[in-house]
Amino acid sequence: MSYKAPFLSRSEYLKLPLIERFKRTVELTGPEEERAAELHKKLIAIDLHTHITTHHEESGWEKDRERLWNSGVSCFFEALDHLLNPAEDFQVTLEQIGSTRVMIQHTTGLCLALSSEDIRKAKNEGKEALMLQLEPQTIGPVIDRVDIAHSSGVRCMLLTFNSSNFLGDGCGEKTDAGLSRLGLDVVERMNKVRMLIDLSHCGEKTAMDAIEASRDPVLINHAGARALNPGMMRLKSDELIHALAEKGGVFGVSGIPNQLSKAKRQGIHELLDHVDYVVKLVGVDHVAIGLDICFDDHVAFHRMILGKIAKGTGQELNAEYMEGIESPEEWPNITRGLVSRGYSDQEIEKIIGGNALRIMKEVVG
């Protein structure tokens, strides 16, 4: 689908009220608007990958906190920021975890999620939950750090980022040898402590090895279908998505600018196209949302780091921003978009949170 409204620069777009941003990207009838609003209000929505509180010690967090509330999301899988820990130092990771947990304790309406029941409780109490995940993982060659991270509150961890590490190869590497012996041991240990395994940045063989080795279903919690944007190595092949689903896993579709498409205008429609594709490929029971976006200028951020951590992924910075889903604040537009694409209430419940909640209960508890 195309964007019918005239193009606006990012600064012009952000000056619009939320509802105007929604209506210029997703058209609904009056009854459809009411249905979408009611669904988003009553259902548990879960974002499987975010970077929204990482810089909470900086000025501006209070404004972002208010915008976060507008999202209507019950739980965010918050990733600890690799930019604040470029050396991937485990001690720095522990300090980040501690700082984030203190922030949660001192922020009204936020709580830490250690289980699926914590998310249900947060929804019932009108709060938002954060579930901590490591991106990139910083355990290095020390497998016991998996247990330390888990005891510190981490419930999800990526095996690799774009490059290689002790566990396996990332999606930006020239070669992909799969999981190392240590990587296989880490998968086993994560199963033992009941921590979710994420393969979003892994190379194809590394991800396949992890799916095969894991006792539990695993996540690809912020990616898309490579069939819709060939050459973008951060996206996943049909074969890998099938393997994930056959193991009972969940695929989170991202909202990252310039990864889902090479078009000059991108946004909510590209996200929905990837949702549609994966639903048709493996069924609605294996699809979720993991936006991997923040409140800042994501494209400007990518320009800064493209030659560093994104090297080798095939990403091209063609679009200025994501229309209709430029920040977590615009999360309700996903529900509106699913209504516009003809999904039933039960299917929408699964996509925006139900499938994520199911795998959390199965793996984490």
DSSP string, 272-317: HHHHHHHHHHH-GGGEEE-----SS-HHHHHHHHTTTTTTTS----
In 3D space, the residue among 342, 341, 353 whose CA is nearest the CA of residue 273 turns out to be 341
234: phi then psi, degrees, rounded to nearest 5: -75, -15
pTM over 0.75: yes
Asked if 48 and 292 touch (Cβ cutoff 8 Å), the reply is no
**Dihedral angle sign, alpha carbons of residues 119, 122, 128, 132:** negative
Query: How far, in Å, CA of 133 to CA of 149, rounded?
Result: 9
pLDDT > 70? residue 58: no
232: phi then psi, degrees, rounded to nearest 5: -90, 100
pLDDT > 60? residue 279: yes
- List the helix and strand counts (H, then E) for the chain: 15, 11
Query: How far, in Å, CA of 331 to CA of 324, rounded?
Result: 9
314: phi then psi, degrees, rounded to nearest 5: 85, 15
Query: How far, in Å, CA of 148 to CA of 202, rounded?
Result: 23
Query: How far, in Å, CA of 253 to CA of 223, rounded?
Result: 5
Q: What is the DSSP letter of 352?
A: I
Query: How far, in Å, CA of 43 to CA of 349, rounded?
Result: 6
Asked if 143 and 161 touch (Cβ cutoff 8 Å), the reply is no
Which H helix or E strand runs over 240? helix 238-246
Q: Comparing 364 with 308, which gets the higher pLDDT?
A: 364
The per-residue pLDDT for 88 is: 81
Percent of the chain's residues with pLDDT above 70: 94
pLDDT > 60? residue 59: no
Cis check: omega of the bond before 230, within 30 degrees of 0: no
pLDDT > 60? residue 33: yes
The structural domains of the chain, ordered by start, are 10-363 (3.20.20.140)
Q: What is the DSSP letter of 255?
A: -
332-363 burial, b at 16+ Cβ within 10 Å, e below that, comes to bbbbbbbbbbebeeebbbbbbbbbbbbbbeeb
Sequence letter at residue 58 = E
The per-residue pLDDT for 183 is: 97
Query: How far, in Å, CA of 63 to CA of 169, rounded?
Result: 38
pLDDT > 70? residue 203: yes
Count CB-CB contacts under 10 A for residue 141. 10
| Average pLDDT value for the chain | 92
